[in-house]
Structure 1
Amino acid sequence: MEDRPFADLFPPATRERWLGLVEGVLKGGDFEKRLVSRSADGIRIEPLYEAAEPVAQPMRAPGPWRISQRLDHPDPAAANALALADLEGGADALTLVFAGAPSARGYGLEAHDVTALETALSGVMLPLIGLRLDAGARGIEAAELVKALAEARGEALGALDLDLGLDPIGTLAATGAEADEGLSQAAALLATFDAAGFTGRAMLADGRPYHEAGASEGAELAAVLATAVAYLRGLEASGHDLARARDAIAVLLVADADEFLTIAKFRAMRRLWARVEAACGLDPKPLRLHAETAWRMMTRREPFTNILRTTLATASAGLGGADAVTALPYTLALGLSDGFARRVARNSQIVLIEESNLARVADPAAGAGSFETLTQSLAETAWAGFQEIEREGGILASLRAGHLQGRIAAMRANRTKAVATRREALTGASEFPNLYEKPVTVLDVPAAAPMPAGEAALPSHRLAEPYEALRDTSDAHLASSGKRPAVFLANLGPVAVFNARSTFAANAFAAGGIEALGNDGFVEPAALAEAFTASGAAIACLCSSDALYATHAVAAAEALKAAGAREIYLAGKPGDLDAALRQAGVTGYLHAGGDLLALLGAALATAAAA
């Protein structure tokens, strides 16, 4: 009998052995192209990493992150009812989103005096919760209202877990408008608050304006770090002790559905800030790190998929060390979210914390080769971006000159192309769309008209907007004609041959609101043309295998053209048949990696005009 541990009976698992097995599976395929990807910053993402030595860094205090809920209903009384339901339902923090703030999305709390704020927070015991203000250009006003409310209630400012959220640089980035006093006024306010016993955070370096404009993870980190350093300098120059200035700064990063890069981004932020503290001669302290799930990943179509995205983003932020997470309700892109959508937002966090126990370990990614490598790579990329901003005179000078906006615009163009070609897939919008989706409910509260933005403002975009615009056109056609724009699937051969590309084509056209009309397949061009005419469609798409295309596609295209097809597409790439297919009437090719948005725009215009 063999008297050894079972694992010792096998050769050790080494990277070299793994690479040998991979080479056999790839059968000559390019390892780099098939298995290695890159982030928007160009950071190399390997398919497999070896264990790494953990890097010591400050992390979140022991215990779960705070579950923060947006308080953004314009009516103070209605906002209060929502706040109490959230806190009774398990949330332990509130984000007061005031009307006019960029993040209010056309809504926001209308509170211009203490009475209105008292109404909104009636029954809320402020010392027991976390409170973050999100007021944009009204930040000073909102902070003074909270101070007045605390004084009226007899509550000490020092007893509150309070973030004033003052961010004049972020306001400039989001709106293009500078506050009249800016940082000097914020520094004066902090002095007043400190004199009253305040020990919380006054300034917030917010990553949302950059993320919503299309910034990569490294660019967001660089902008946030440059903003935090600008606040550190400004507060010290205004007479605040450097250590107090450090403690008065918090950071908000965006969490999106890329779990690897989100975890790495949050870990990298703490590492970067510790480097700034060391350069200032300060002993590192854990940074107050807020998270909010990404606005740019939210969709209006098939909004239930937003639940999956926000839950994954929340988990990633929590695992990355966020102190408080605000999950956007899944219906927010459609309007002001009701109690059910808010319940889903908080319950997803409760499940992650209480049932999945994700907050039990302070830094669960420590020592994992992938996360340690990505964290370090992101930190290096962000530090280089931060240095570039500093060479431009700092974040304010960079924004005023348009340098940072220009770099983010280039990133946005790359991301826009990735969305158009579906290299960055959007479930429910560009992938797996549902033309028969069920409507969701939102509160019957009209959104305010968007505030005019200055020339220097970074744009705020959701990635799905171009596809949603096509779907809106389709809906308008349905409302006026009683039917959707349609494409006839010209399936060639038996089901086993055309089914894969037919399914691919149906999903692709549905992303633009074009209904696919299927069938059991054809062999004879005359029968195909007759079925096309009977369908009433104006456009058609050939679907079959490459082998059948070689013998049947040209004749089929000619028959469809003779039958009156205004646009003829082919699912797949043409290969050597391109010239012959074009001559026969084929106008475009539908394949992975192609510009789907451009194709759908042309197809929808033709189909809707029929």
Structure 2
Amino acid sequence: MTTGPTRDAWLQAVAGVLKGAPLETLRWHLPGGAAIEPLYPRAAGAAPVIGRPPGTRWRIVQRVDHPDAGEANALALADLEGGADGLTLVLAGAAAARGFGLAAPDIDTLERALDRVELDLITLRLDAGAAAPAAAASLLALAQRRGLAAGRLAISIGYDPVGILAAQGRLPPEGAVGELVAALERAGHAGPALTADGRPYHEAGASGSQELAAVLATGLAHLRVLEKAGLTLEQAARRIDFVLAADADIVLTLSKFRALRRLWARVEAACGLRPEPACLHAETAWRMLARRDPPTNMLRGTIAAFAAGLGGADSIGVLPFTAALGLPDAFARRVARNAQHELMAEANLHRVTDPAAGAGTFEAVTDMLCTEAWAMFQAIERQGGAIAALLSGWLQDEIAAGLAGAPEPVIVGTTRFALAHEAETAVLAPAPPAPVADGGLDGRPLPARRAAEPFERVSP
């Protein structure tokens, strides 16, 4: 009887490659010092992490962020005709708008931006920052104007007061959530109202476990404020969805998405709720985009979408490869959505439920992230919760401390294999300067950094 490969056989094969170097040189060290071994056996008894229904596609979501509503509409229609399943309406002033975004949250602006868009056939997300309640009211009024029942539309309001404090240093009014929920109830909207958004923490350099901890603490804060607004815990849990950043580290990204589902189920159980699959959206990471040799961002975006899709994301937005340079044109947007079409239509990645289940490395990293994130989540709660930890600066300091002494990143096209001469890359408008925080802030904003920025200030 023949047997499969053994660890001893693998060690013998690797010894020849290492040429006397110790096996420890193949260990992978994560931020915070945790070590991932070069080889793991199959994880016995591991069960799949269930997210979207088995065999179903994740949704391809494209940003609507052109400041001119008419131009935004033309780009959005091209995205939908090209196979996108959903749109994210990005409003000016939101942290993720990067200086662009629809000019105003009024109904006339949204009507122009969504002209000829069949709202009942797609998913819609709002990324409006502090303007989310006003944008939600306009969007639901637009649906009513078109004779569409709000309860039949797949709309995520995307309001995250904690994330606004983290990214912009301002805490929205205390009663805003209650007013928003009451307005949504009157309109018949039953989908997610509040979002626990991990992007501000990832953009500031947070590790995977720090991002997860911040998202958990935000989700728990949302549960509390929704319960205070009059919802039961069961109703409140259905009103929350999640956003995580997906970057080009396949193992960490895939494991992070799996870990979020496990961790939120643990929070729900601790609250006495029957755990239900979290509604989880992915956006490819702003932190990994580079201005030099921008076509390399296509590869990073595809890898990130690959990892998020296999990690169980319900929907994915790929930032166009020119986003760091300015407002992406139709070609860059087409590349972003086609990357996902390739992953599903050609590679059929969506057909396998949690392919990482039982794989030793992925299970080990998922377990490690769960352990570290839960410990930090508890530390945030000891600070008084997510808002208190941000107002005091404790969470900002923890993220900064984790970055201290981090090795130089390897960025193909920037820190490695940089081109001596680069061709011009087309964008609809150049990126504006980063806004300077003014006075009167409630807390210290987290910086939104791209890892390539320090190297882009030096001529190649």
Q: What TM-score, normalized by structure 1, do the two folds share?
A: 0.73
Query: Which residue of structure 2 lines up, in the alignment, with residue 26 of structure 1?
Result: 18
For the residues of structure 1 that align with 2:228 and 2:46, how far apart are their CA atoms?
37
Letter paired with 2:157: L
- Evaluate the alpha carbon distance shift between residue 74 and residue 61 of structure 1 in structure 2; reply closer, same or farther with a 3 A threshold: same
Aligned-residue offset at 1:25: 4.2
Query: Which residue of structure 1 lines up, in the alignment, with residue 306 of structure 2?
Result: 315
Aligned-residue offset at 1:347: 0.5
Contact 1:58/1:274 (8 A) holds in 2? no
Aligned-residue offset at 1:174: 0.3
Query: Which residue of structure 2 lines up, in the alignment, with residue 358 of structure 1?
Result: 349
Show the 5 A alignment for 1:523-538. none
For the residues of structure 1 that align with 2:180 and 2:17, how far apart are their CA atoms?
64
- Evaluate the alpha carbon distance shift between residue 358 and residue 396 of structure 1 in structure 2; reply closer, same or farther with a 3 A threshold: same
Q: 2:191 aligns with which of 197, 200, 209?
A: 200
Show the 5 A alignment for 1:91-106. 91-106=84-99
Question: What 5-or-longer segments of structure 2 have no aligned partner?
Answer: none
Q: 1:374 aligns with which of 358, 365, 383?
A: 365
For the residues of structure 2 that align with 1:284 and 1:456, how far apart are their CA atoms?
34
Aligned-residue offset at 1:127: 1.0
Contact 1:213/1:412 (8 A) holds in 2? no
For the residues of structure 1 that align with 2:289 and 2:457, how far apart are their CA atoms?
14
Query: Which residue of structure 2 lines up, in the alignment, with residue 459 of structure 1?
Result: 447
For the residues of structure 1 that align with 2:89 and 2:445, how far apart are their CA atoms?
23
Cα RMSD (Å):
1.6
Letter paired with 1:111: A
Query: Which residue of structure 2 lines up, in the alignment, with residue 436 of structure 1?
Result: 421
Letter paired with 1:222: A
Show the 5 A alignment for 1:37-436. 37-52=28-43, 53-62=45-54, 63-181=56-174, 184-415=175-406, 418-419=407-408, 424-436=409-421
Aligned-residue offset at 1:179: 1.2
Letter paired with 1:40: P
Alpha-carbon displacement from aligned partner over 1:167-191 (angstroms, at most 9, x marks no partner): 010000001111123xx32133112
Alpha-carbon displacement from aligned partner over 1:26-69 (angstroms, at most 9, x marks no partner): 3442221x110111133321211111132354321230100000
Question: What 5-or-longer segments of structure 1 have no aligned partner?
Answer: 1-7, 472-512, 514-610
Letter paired with 1:168: P
| SS in structure 1 at match of 2:61 | strand
Aligned-residue offset at 1:236: 0.8
For the residues of structure 2 that align with 1:451 and 1:74, how far apart are their CA atoms?
20
For the residues of structure 2 that align with 1:55 and 1:373, how far apart are their CA atoms?
13
For the residues of structure 2 that align with 1:121 and 1:430, how far apart are their CA atoms?
41
For the residues of structure 2 that align with 1:239 and 1:451, how far apart are their CA atoms?
38
For the residues of structure 2 that align with 1:224 and 1:208, how far apart are their CA atoms?
9
Show the 5 A alignment for 1:419-568. 419=408, 424-444=409-429, 447=432, 450=435, 452=437, 454=441, 456-471=444-459, 513=460
For the residues of structure 1 that align with 2:431 and 2:259, how far apart are their CA atoms?
40
Aligned length: 455
Alpha-carbon displacement from aligned partner over 1:508-557 (angstroms, at most 9, x marks no partner): xxxxx2xxxxxxxxxxxxxxxxxxxxxxxxxxxxxxxxxxxxxxxxxxxx
For the residues of structure 1 that align with 2:75 and 2:143, how far apart are their CA atoms?
21
Aligned-residue offset at 1:412: 2.7
Aligned-residue offset at 1:74: 0.2
Aligned-residue offset at 1:196: 2.4
For the residues of structure 2 that align with 1:94 and 1:336, how far apart are their CA atoms?
16
| SS in structure 2 at match of 1:166 | coil
| SS in structure 2 at match of 1:96 | strand
Letter paired with 2:390: L
Q: 2:8 aligns with which of 9, 16, 19?
A: 16
| SS in structure 2 at match of 1:205 | strand
Q: What TM-score, normalized by structure 2, do the two folds share?
A: 0.96
For the residues of structure 2 that align with 1:445 and 1:381, how far apart are their CA atoms?
40
Alpha-carbon displacement from aligned partner over 1:195-244 (angstroms, at most 9, x marks no partner): 32211000000001100000000000000000001101111122111101
For the residues of structure 1 that align with 2:49 and 2:356, how far apart are their CA atoms?
12
| SS in structure 1 at match of 2:155 | strand
| SS in structure 1 at match of 2:327 | coil
Aligned-residue offset at 1:279: 1.0
Aligned-residue offset at 1:23: 3.9
For the residues of structure 2 that align with 1:139 and 1:398, how far apart are their CA atoms?
23
Aligned-residue offset at 1:18: 2.6
